[in-house]
Structure 1
Amino acid sequence: MSEKWARLVLSTYRWVGAATFPIVGAYVAFRASKGKEERGRHGERYGVASVARPSGPLIWVHAASVGETSAVTPLVEAIVDMGIHVVLTTGTVTSAKMVQDRLGDRVIHQYVPLDLKPAVDRFLTHWQPDLAVICESEIWPMTILELGTRRVPQVLVNGRLSDRSFANWHKRPSIAEALFENLAHVVAQSDIDGERFRALGARPVTVSGNLKVDTAVPPVNNGDLAAMQRMIGSRKTWAAISTHQGEEDIVAQVHHMLKARHRDLLTIIVPRHPDRAAEIAETIEKMGMKVALRSRGDQIEPDTDIYLGDTIGDMGLYLRLTEIAFVGRSLTAQGGQNPLEPAMLKSAILSGRNVQNFRDSYQRLIKNGGAKLVRDKDMLAGAVNYLFNNPAERQVMIDAGLKTVEDMRGSLSRTMTALEPFIQPLVLKARLSSREGGWK
């Protein structure tokens, strides 16, 4: 595909988006009916701001969901500490709640506008950002093109390209280059990610490591933790976190297999999508097991088999209840989930083999002895049983995980170094604006 043809495709995308804009209301309304949009704030998805723009320099930071929001929070705090206003956009209700909980009124939160020309144009006209910082793998063609048209510098931080995303972009190199040439800098998570961005035409590209390693340890309410520990008592526990469809069935079967050897066993399941909890509970109960749900305030009784952690923002609680954690989206689904939180919270980590999206983190953990991959249900049951029976080996894995996380730290400072040429002029501008305001 020639460069001319690629630009024609992107131009067509731009105007098709503009033409379909009037009919997307039904789509947003449908999402709202499913609880995926916050009622009363629909206008933000169309680029209609809900608050005024503050005077002075402003940086737009975008983080798609909970994981990206958690990763970018320390970076946002560092920018705000420099005296720069930040409008932070996210795409989900849960990530919006996280912004409120962790950053409060230090930033302006808005829902990200739909990637359609009228919405993006309205958003940019109101906020007039001096810099756009995008987290991880959010590649929105219209947004990138509109920022480029307005000559707003765009920096991708904690950049990651999965095997599938890279393969898709690689089939359309001219389109990829026409988009990525708009990025002023890409700060990639790993050497592999960096090589992929360069192959697609991004320049310059630096490697920082994973910002998620530099986030604070997931918080916990100590009262809730103490209450849970009292209910569990001396029972043996293991957790399956960030599970996807099909994996909960496997975990329940593993629980049944292990209970023959560990009569006091309690298995904790934390599904990636808590709205599936009722369905998961029904399936497990049909298998003859007793399930308790945190969202209902169920107590953990002596005969409770499965505790379903179906609440948002409580991962710090669930992981503090065990020393063995299986990380999902790795047996029945592809890509894996982030293993760093269980490593931070002192768990021996188990996972299926499909962890391509977090390859660098898993390679480091496995090399140091902090994680092991399992092939199937039987291998998972064997691994959990082994770790129950060998506490010394379990501690070795826990210590290795903690060391791996410590060795990986430093991404935040490297990312700030990459952003410095873009941020420092804004810091100077903010100081000058403040002084001029004071004189007036």
Structure 2
Amino acid sequence: RAFHQFIPFDVPKFAKRLLEHFKPDAVLWFESELWPSLLSQVKKSGVPFILVNGRVSDKSFRTWRRFDKIAKELLGCFSLCLGQSEQDKERLAALGAKKADCVGNLKFAGMPLPVDGEKLKELKEKIGSRPVFLLSSTHFNEEEQFAACLKELQRVVHDVLVLAVPRHPNRGGEVAEMFKNKGFATALRSKGEDITPAVEIYVADTIGEMGLWYGLSQVTFVGGSLINHGGQNFMEPGRDKNAVIVGPNMFNFVEMLAKAKVAGAVLQVNSAADAVEEAIKLFMEPEYLRERAEKAYLWTVKEAAVLDGICRVLNEELKR
């Protein structure tokens, strides 16, 4: 049984009241947003207190090093800190965690995104046999970088459809307008515009339909990686058997990316033009596309076993 409860303002008496009301036997704290009063009250309660999937970015590590006494006091509240990566584990230990370990990144364990079967069937009928290139979770300026080179994709790959899914749906209108101004026949989902045979770029600016777009595409470029953002989760398209391409700026996923590249599950490029070049190669060589998509899928399935490892460690810790 699970339910949602908002956390109160981080004031000692509110935090204490929360714990007195729910009387938890154990507390799992996810990621790395540390609330001092609540952490302190959980520690005082004496129940097992575990940080799961902890992450310490370069910026956060530099900041906490300047306030090392505070960091040590906060992290010292946990009986165990599980880092997303070996680097996170080492940083948590350096900042004062009493016991730090790494089993893997919980993001690896995510299930495939939900898909509306009726919508998927309807859109597949409209798209037909057209090849589909997805620009996923793109940020400001990334779409414009692609606009400069997508004509080459269209020239080589007959009747290709580009799905553009901005990370922030409120940008959909401006993204569609930009593509139109660059000479592309564009349709916008939020306006109810259809994917007709004439549409070259379909801008999907809705919420909760990402699984739909992965289910329609064969090749995906994952955004946030051509700009200084650090990338987005690139496992999701792999779960839907897409060949996956990312840009050069993936500093939020260093260890994850290294594993994926060794497994042949992702292609990393330096520019939008390079991404288009790779997409052309994939579409023009079906066996190469099949191989890349299969490797991406098998790697995500293998890494999803991280959940079993985390549960094993948690069970061992909670038995103490």
Deviations 1:56-114 (A, max 9, x none): xxxxxxxxxxxxxxxxxxxxxxxxxxxxxxxxxxxxxxxxxxxxxxxxxx421133434
The residue correspondences of 1:224-303 to structure 2 (distance < 5 A) are 224-303=119-198
Q: CA deviation at 1:326?
A: 0.7
The residue correspondences of 1:4-403 to structure 2 (distance < 5 A) are 106-117=1-12, 120-121=15-16, 123-403=18-298
Q: CA deviation at 1:140?
A: 2.9
* Structure 2 CA distance for partners of 1:298 and 1:148, relative to 1, 3 Å: same
Structure-1 separation of matches of 2:38 and 2:11: 8
Deviations 1:334-357 (A, max 9, x none): 211111111111111111111111
Structure-2 separation of matches of 1:296 and 1:146: 50
* Structure 2 CA distance for partners of 1:114 and 1:381, relative to 1, 3 Å: farther
The residue matched to 1:133 in structure 2 has which SS?
strand
Structure-1 separation of matches of 2:5 and 2:130: 44
* Structure 2 CA distance for partners of 1:290 and 1:112, relative to 1, 3 Å: farther
Deviations 1:225-272 (A, max 9, x none): 111111111212111112122112223333233222234121112222
* Structure 2 CA distance for partners of 1:421 and 1:262, relative to 1, 3 Å: closer
The residue matched to 1:238 in structure 2 has which SS?
strand
Q: CA deviation at 1:323?
A: 1.5
The residue matched to 2:171 in structure 1 has which SS?
helix
The residue matched to 2:77 in structure 1 has which SS?
coil
Contact 1:163 1:357 in 2 (8 A): no
Q: CA deviation at 1:117?
A: 4.9
**Pairwise CA RMSD of aligned residues?**
2.2
One-letter amino acid of the structure 2 residue matched with residue 135 of structure 1: F
Structure-2 separation of matches of 1:379 and 1:116: 51
Q: CA deviation at 1:177?
A: 0.8
* Structure 2 CA distance for partners of 1:256 and 1:144, relative to 1, 3 Å: farther
Deviations 1:16-69 (A, max 9, x none): xxxxxxxxxxxxxxxxxxxxxxxxxxxxxxxxxxxxxxxxxxxxxxxxxxxxxx
Q: CA deviation at 1:422?
A: 5.9
Contact 2:146 2:273 in 1 (8 A): no
The residue matched to 1:289 in structure 2 has which SS?
coil
The residue matched to 1:111 in structure 2 has which SS?
coil
One-letter amino acid of the structure 2 residue matched with residue 236 of structure 1: P
Unpaired segments of 5 or more residues in structure 2? Answer: none
Q: CA deviation at 1:120?
A: 4.0
- After TM superposition, the score normalised by the length of structure 1 is 0.67
Contact 1:339 1:361 in 2 (8 A): no
Contact 1:342 1:349 in 2 (8 A): yes
Q: Percent identity?
A: 34
- After TM superposition, the score normalised by the length of structure 2 is 0.91
Structure-1 separation of matches of 2:34 and 2:150: 40
Contact 2:48 2:318 in 1 (8 A): no
The residue matched to 1:320 in structure 2 has which SS?
helix
Q: CA deviation at 1:216?
A: 2.3
Q: Does 1:415 align with 2:310?
A: yes
Structure-2 separation of matches of 1:311 and 1:112: 29
Q: Alignment length, in residue pairs?
A: 320
Q: CA deviation at 1:375?
A: 0.9
Structure-2 separation of matches of 1:152 and 1:282: 55
Contact 1:187 1:418 in 2 (8 A): no
* Structure 2 CA distance for partners of 1:265 and 1:114, relative to 1, 3 Å: farther
Q: CA deviation at 1:121?
A: 4.8
Structure-1 separation of matches of 2:39 and 2:179: 45
Q: CA deviation at 1:277?
A: 1.9
One-letter amino acid of the structure 1 residue matched with residue 237 of structure 2: P
* Structure 2 CA distance for partners of 1:368 and 1:125, relative to 1, 3 Å: same
